[in-house]
């Protein structure tokens, strides 16, 4: 079975500061890795994904995540956050088989303060 | 990008009644749709996988007779909460998976969610 751990339930940070949201996973088989963002009372939006190839993946709004197989981690980073980045962030994994079910972590609330 | 809609966005009902939630893929065909449930300040929990033209596959602990899923077409799946009780109050989110024959992975696109409140 797969599991995803997001140790930080909430991360407060000042605007323009860097941030890292941690994600560790456990799986006996190869998985795809994802970060989703959820704004209040909305569904999920894909932020970025790792399927294969380069272990560093980037999003269009400045976030990046690095897949570290030895540490089974997929931490999300941004060098300078904005107030608008305040949201809930979910890390997820999906087995590389026909089910494609997503297993989500518990989420991390990023709170950006002015 | 691919768009998934849900209707209604918010519903309030009395205990004992049934509520139907629709999930539509607006600009693509989805042979597989997923239904999730999210409690306040918690993560998404997969309830069931819905495949067009066949019975849904429910996750362990989810009552299939209470949460009826129908995937009648490649663009529509419905979730019916039967004989709703206050503990069924939650945020229900669907996702749809676009099938691209050339891709090694077919992304899930999420709907905006439906807030169900059972009085």
Of the partner residues B34, B43, B113, the one whose CB lies closest to the CB of residue A90: B43
pLDDT score of B28: 86
State the average pLDDT over residues A3-22.
96
Work out the mean pLDDT of chain A and round it to a whole number. Answer: 92
State the average pLDDT over residues A78-86.
96
pLDDT score of A42: 82
B93 in contact with A at a CB cutoff of 8 Å?
A: yes
Q: Is the pLDDT of residue B102 over 80?
A: no
- How do residues B28-37 score in pLDDT, each as one tens digit? 888 889 999 9
pLDDT score of B105: 67
DSSP state at residue B104: S
Query: Which has more pLDDT, B55 or A35?
Result: A35
State the average pLDDT over residues B72-81.
92
pLDDT band at A99 (very low <50, low <70, confident <90, very high): low
Q: Give the residue from chain B lying closest to A6, CA to CA.
A: B43
- How do residues A16-32 score in pLDDT, each as one tens digit? 999 999 999 998 888 89
Pairing of strands B44-51, A56-58: unpaired
Question: Three-class SS string for chain A?
Answer: CCEEECCCCEEEEECCCCEEECCEEECCCCEEEEEEEECCCCCEEEEEEECCCCCEEECCCCCEEEEECCCCEEEEEECCCCHHHCEEEEEEEEECCCCCCEEECCCEEEEEEC
pLDDT score of B21: 97
pLDDT score of A76: 97
Of the partner residues A36, A43, A51, the one whose CB lies closest to the CB of residue B111: A43
Size of interface A-B (CB pairs under 8 A): 53
Q: A63 in the Ramachandran plot: left (φ > 0), alpha (ψ -120 to 50) or beta?
A: beta
State the average pLDDT over residues A27-50.
89
Q: Which candidate in B110, B112, B116 is best for mutational testing of the A interface (most A CBs within 10 A)?
A: B110
Which chain A residues contact residue B108 at CB under 8 A?
Answer: 100, 102
pLDDT score of A105: 94
Work out the mean pLDDT of chain B and round it to a whole number. Answer: 90
- How do residues B40-71 score in pLDDT, each as one tens digit? 878 889 999 988 888 899 999 999 999 999 98
A54 in contact with B at a CB cutoff of 8 Å?
A: no
């Amino acid at each position: 079975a797969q599991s995803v751990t997001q140790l930080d339930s909430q991360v407060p940070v000042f605007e323009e500061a860097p941030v890292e949201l941690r994600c560790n996973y456990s799986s006996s088989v190869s998985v795809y890795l994802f970060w989703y963002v959820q704004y209040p009372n909305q569904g999920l939006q894909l932020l970025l994904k790792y399927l294969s190839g380069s272990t560093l993946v980037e999003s269009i709004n400045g976030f990046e995540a690095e897949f570290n197989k030895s540490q089974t981690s997929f931490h999300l980073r941004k060098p300078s956050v904005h107030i608008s980045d305040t949201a809930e962030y979910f890390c997820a994994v999906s087995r590389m088989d026909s089910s494609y079910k997503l297993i989500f972590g518990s989420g991390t609330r990023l709170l950006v303060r002015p | 990008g691919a768009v998934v809609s849900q209707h209604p966005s918010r519903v309030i009902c009395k205990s004992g009644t049934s509520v139907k939630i629709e999930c539509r893929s607006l600009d693509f065909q989805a042979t597989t749709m997923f239904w999730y449930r999210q409690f306040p300040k918690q993560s998404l929990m997969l309830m069931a996988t819905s495949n067009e033209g066949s019975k849904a596959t429910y996750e362990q602990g989810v009552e299939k007779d209470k949460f009826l899923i129908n995937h009648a077409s490649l663009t529509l799946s419905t979730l019916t909460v039967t004989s709703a009780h206050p503990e069924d109050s939650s945020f229900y989110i669907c996702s749809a998976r676009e099938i691209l024959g050339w891709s090694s992975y077919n992304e899930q696109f999420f709907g905006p969610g439906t807030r169900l409140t059972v009085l």
